[in-house]
Amino acid sequence: MAQAFRLPMGGRIDRSKPIRFTFDGRMIDGFTGDTVASALLANGVHLVGRSFKYHRPRGILSHGSDEPSALLSVDRGPGRVDPNNRASVVEARDGLKIVSQNRWPSLAFDVGAVNDLLSPVFVAGFYYKTFMWPRSFWDKVYEPVIRAAAGLGVAPQVADPDRYANRHAHCDVLVVGAGPAGLAAALAAAETGKRVIVADEQAEPGGALLHQPDALIDGRGAEAWRAAAIGELDARENVVLLPRTTVFGYYNHNHVAMVERVADHRSDAPAGTPRERLWQVRAAEVVLATGSHERPLVFADNDRPGVMLAESVRVFINRYGVAPGRRTVFATSGASAYVAAADAKAAGIDVALVDIREERECGPEAAWLRAAGVDVLTGHTIVGTQGRKRVEGLVVAPLSNGGVGARRVIACDCVGMSGGWTPAVHLFSQSRGKLAFDAALDAFVPGVSAQAERSAGAASGIYDLAACLDSGFTAGTRAAGSSARRTFAASETRIGFKPARALPTDANPAKVRAFVDFQNDVTAKDLKLAMREGFESIEHVKRYTTTGMATDQGKTSNMNALGIVAEGLGRPLPSVGTTTFRPPYTPVTFGALVGPARHALFDPIRTTPIHEWAAEHGATFENVALWRRAWYFPRPGEDRQTAVARECRAVREGVGVFDGSTLGKIEVVGPDAAEFMNRLYVNAWIKLGVGRCRYGLMLKEDGYILDDGVVARLADDRFHVTTTTGRAPRVLAHMEDYLQTEWPELDVFLTSTTEQWAVIAVQGPKARETIAGLVAGIDLSNEAFPHMSVREGHICGAPCRLFRVSFTGDLGYEINVPSDYGRAVWEAVVEAGAPFGITPYGTETMHVLRAEKGYIIVGQETDGTVTPDDVGLAGMIARAKPDFVGKRSLARPDLLAAGRKQLVGLATSDPSLVLDEGAQIVADPNQPIPMTMLGHVTSSYFSPSCGRSIAMALVADGRALTGRTLHVTTPDGFTAVTVREPVFFDPDGSRVNA
Amino acid sequence: MLLIDCPFCGKRPEVEFHCGGEAHIARPADPAQVDDAIWAEHLFVRKNPRGLHAERWRHLHGCGQWFNALRDTYTDRFVETYKAGEQPKHPLTETRA
Ligand SMILES: [Zn+2]
């Protein structure tokens, strides 16, 4: 019968709005306002999953985000399958497909349950003990089998189609949690006019007030007070009240991260609505009103479906109008479960209560509940449950004189257990506040704050309703910088409990399966085993047994685990330590964290003014830093090798055109510009004439090469500096660092001009003839405009800085024009070069041509540990200069020592064999392992100009090995190479001066 | 994420900044006169205190200026920030109890 366990009245669900979803294919009816958990319970479904390790049947333990067991896969449509959702958190709505996890072939009959029978094998530290050897077994045998047998949900197979939003916000007071303490804090802060954000993880603000319809606050019903408080907050312009918003991370300087669930609960969300929104809030002050979590009792088979937390039973009855069972036994060590029992009784449920405490240890609640007609059994322990997929009985036994008496069974279909309460100090701990142990509360409470933050209500160990409201109001006013005070009158709260630990039993302790951590399947026995094996710190016990390390971060289990370990070691609980809580408080979707940073928005893409032309002309592209650069321009039918060979030949024989716009450019200007350049580069700059260029080499202070590039002097006080494509920001930062902090007396300005200039490299014997007709105001003759010089003039009417430079070894120009003219000038050059067969070429051809000339690329021939001398550029160093960055380090003993790796060329004995870049080089391929590595290949290509493969390498004492045979690793073994000069083409360099 | 008080711009989130390591390490006026050991110390040896640490920061995605900060490496609290070339007002104790 549909909703057989729905109470005839009560609850906050909207009975006029029925909804329907499926659970493992079965139709489940519920009402708007239900969670998946409450709707399942309304239909009598308790068995919802199989446990992680032992595949034990599991049900719904809690009503909130602390739920460890009821993890379900939620299917909201194609591509929208989301595993490991807590049934108690997912709002029920039409059309959801809910699927149970970790079972095969079905939830009711699960083959993996054999693990439960093998449980003696799966003890604490099982992974560490079993899988140490041999290593290869891990990949091939253990890991796949364990993966198949244990685990949680299945990851979705397709890309997430949903949109996730991202918002930054600032406020004066952030209130976390909108239960009674949080609402009081928010009202107090709001009254001061300060900007307030209130975030609450539930669908409705109110916290515990939502399931205490009988409570009174200041003479009003709790619901009336709650509604008025929310009405007031909603009406205020200085308050943002966010339901369905979980604060999951508390970071430095009150930077707080929260996720708002925007669309999942709606079946009518308009297209484009983000599924979730990540909020990053910077709050001047934070009030943590995060409430508390109930502890389970630790007794044999306490994980049977139908065994729930006592307060959660109360929540399902009062808030959702659902009776989790027809006959419910409450098992408790404290007072709060008596209220749950009374509410269950009032809802018409058959109720009994068993208290671990002796009669004399109980408060007035025992008499109070008996007066309501409920059997109360004090001084009893719980020794087990009956039933398999649903609890059928609770096995209890009297405690007397330290012994356990005769067992008896109380028949039931639901158990509500309560082992006391634990303040939710997770966010306080994340804020790096120091926890303090309160023995009276048997709990850690917030101690010394590390940030501008304060806790209120149950999160600070205050459970009485009036006191919660008082503490919340005080926290709110203090956070807002006010000293206003207010006291609240509220109905009595039944509080107090006796720490229970593992309950006494008459059973063989080796056979008792009393669960502490329900999600990771850790029992009291596992904890005791860890202690026997010598683990004493809770951090070690935690890692060894995995207790508290599941996705619920031990919300229900941590204090029980700590208590059992402390008891076992015979030490006071605080000396065992507590665990440090880390973000996220509850699991966060990757989508929320990633937000819009996907696909094209994952990282910025930089393109040049000529990019579209290259794309239109069939270029393939490669990523260089954030730039997308034309790699080569294949013609129909050409592969990369053929295209690159054609492009190389065109440059060597006619003319090629290359987009060099990505080159970093920095304008260095000021009266002290030359002096600044002198101190920063190894080269000499003072005497460099205006209109001349120089290849500049820049070191870090440690003497290693940082960057290189051509520098042009445009005026006495103005240099046009170029850098490598990938290092431009780093070079500018390096320059700024020295200018600002070491030489602030220098009058120099540094400006990044990378994106101001489009750079068109025209290279090859026909380069001059190609641009001659386009350039105005510059004499292009060799005499007037020699290699390594710069002129300002016009090209196609656009202002230009024309460089006579070459990174190919052939006659070449680099046309710098303002970016807006880049494409037009490029097209004009291509048209003007047509008679000479002008050929656009990409970065691959550029690499081959420069390698033929032995020109290094910083980052390819260098790796941050390479000096100028290592790459044969010691001649660049102006040794007469008293100082430059890195000069002193070049005299460090290690940088002068013999055996440094030096740049050489390598010629393979097989001219068609192209070595692998990065391949290792040895002298003797037959040397036993470990072999002596002499160096590695840094660049390797097939050179069309040379008709053979070429390579450069860094080899220990390489220059002295010229002419010698060495051996380079290949995929098949080794190949012989001859060491030679790194310049393979036009060694006397005559072509650049053509 | 840290909130850093740029002496030129005010409080800005950490992502706008670049940390440049320990502050107040003077580059020797004439490195050529410095022996290998002292030069190596200058290049490579840095304090690593638990507690107050004077360090260099640059407001990279802001005003672009380098400045100094006193930060407690244990609490991540910034005691003060001040311009390059200045000394902190707060006494710089190397370690904390
Ligand atoms: Zn700034």
As to burial, measured by CB atoms within 10 angstroms (0-12 exposed, 13-18 middle, 19+ buried), residue A988 is exposed
What pLDDT was estimated at residue A374?
97
Confidence of residue B95 (pLDDT cuts 50, 70, 90): very low
* Domain A898-994, CATH: 2.40.30.110
| pLDDT attached to residue A151 | 56
A595-622 pLDDT, tens per residue? 999 988 999 999 999 999 999 999 999 9
Place A155 in a pLDDT band, splitting at 50, 70 and 90. confident
Task: Name the minimum distance, in Å, from the CA of B58 to any CA of chain A.
Answer: 9
For chain A, domain boundaries: 1-158, 164-292+423-479, 296-419, 508-596, 898-994
Residue of A nearest to B76 (CA): A252
pLDDT of residue A140: 59
How many Cα neighbours within 13 Å face the side chain of A647?
29
pLDDT in tens, B19-56: 999 999 999 999 999 999 999 999 999 999 999 999 99
Selected for mutation to probe chain A from B8, B19, B27 (highest A CB count within 10 Å) is B27
Residue (of A670, A666, A840) closest to A755 by Cα position: A666
pLDDT at residue number A78: 84
**H or E, element range at A559:** helix A558-569
Whether A264 shows a pLDDT value over 60: the answer reads yes
Q: Looking at the predicted structure, is the pLDDT value of residue A149 above 60?
A: no
- Shortest CA distance to A812 belongs to which of A857, A765, A855, A856? A765
d(CA A225, CA A206): 10
Q: What is the pLDDT of residue A994?
A: 87
- Per DSSP, helices labelled H in A738-888 are 767-772, 822-833, 843-852
Tell me what percent of the residues of chain A surpass a pLDDT of 90: 89
**Cis preceding linkage at A930, omega within 30:** yes
User: Which whole-number Å values give the CA distances from A878 to A686, A868, A870, A874, in the listed order?
Assistant: 11, 12, 16, 9
- Show the domains of chain B with their CATH numbers: 1-26+49-97 (3.30.2270.10)
CB A214 within 8 A of CB A503: no
CATH code of the domain occupying A508-596: 1.10.10.1100
- What residues in B contact A893, CB-CB < 8 Å? 36
Question: B58: CA distance to ligand 1 center in Å?
Answer: 8
Q: What is the pLDDT of residue A51?
A: 87
- pLDDT confidence of B68, banded at 50, 70, 90? very high
Cα dihedral A52, A54, A58, A63 sign = negative
Question: At A39, which helix (H) or strand (E)?
Answer: helix A36-42
pLDDT (tens digit, 9 = 90+) per residue, A935-992?
Answer: 999 999 999 999 999 999 999 999 999 999 999 999 999 999 999 999 999 999 999 9
pLDDT, average across residues A278-299: 98
A327-379 tens-digit pLDDT? 999 999 999 999 999 999 999 999 999 999 999 999 999 999 999 999 999 99
Answer for the pair A73, A16: CB distance below 8 angstroms, yes or no: no
Residue A154 pLDDT: 81
User: Ligand 1 mean position to A993 CA, how many Å?
Assistant: 48
Contact A741 B1 (CB under 8 A): no
A409-444 pLDDT, tens digit each = 999 999 999 999 999 999 999 999 999 999 999 999
pLDDT over 90, % of chain B: 86
Check residue A614 and give its pLDDT.
Answer: 98
Mean pLDDT to the nearest integer, A661-686:
97
Mean pLDDT, rounded, for B68-77: 92
Question: What is residue A974's three-state secondary structure?
Answer: strand
Helix (H, G, I), strand (E, B) or coil at A244: coil
Q: Does domain A1-158 have CATH number 1.20.1440.230?
A: no
Range A381-401 average pLDDT: 96
- ipTM of this complex: 0.96
Average pLDDT, chain B: 92
The answer to whether domain A164-292+423-479 and domain A296-419 are alike in fold is yes
Predicted local confidence at residue A103, as pLDDT: 76
Residue A617 has phi, psi (to 5 degrees) of: -100, 25
Mean pLDDT of A486-496: 95
* Residues in B touching A883 (Cβ below 8 Å): 30-32
Can you tell me the mean pLDDT for A736-757? Answer: 97
Q: What is the pLDDT of residue B97?
A: 39
Its CATH class, for the domain covering A296-419, is: alpha beta
The sheet carrying A812-818 orders its strands as A775-776, A789-795, A798-804, A812-818, A757-763, A656-659, A839-840
pLDDT tens-digit map of A869-915: 999 999 999 999 999 999 999 999 999 999 999 999 999 999 999 99
Dihedral pair phi/psi, residue B16, rounded to 5°: -85, -5
Q: How many CB pairs under 8 A join A and B?
A: 60
How close is the nearest chain B Cα to the Cα of A801, in Å? Answer: 28
Over the Cα atoms of chain B, what is R_g?
A: 15
For residue A667, how far is its CA from the centre of ligand 1 (angstroms)? 22
- What is the per-residue pLDDT for A121? 61
- Chain A partners within 8 Å of B31 (Cβ): 883, 887-888
**pLDDT on residue A129:** 60
Query: Are A637 and A735 in contact, with CB atoms under 8 Å apart?
Result: no
Half-sphere exposure of A345 (CA within 13 A, CB side): 20
Query: Following DSSP, what letter does each residue of A373-404 receive, concatenated?
Result: T-EEE-SEEEEEEEESSSEEEEEEEEEETTEE
The Cα A644–Cα A943 span in angstroms is 10
* Fold category of A164-292+423-479 in CATH: FAD/NAD(P)-binding domain (3.50.50)
Note the pLDDT of residue A52: 82
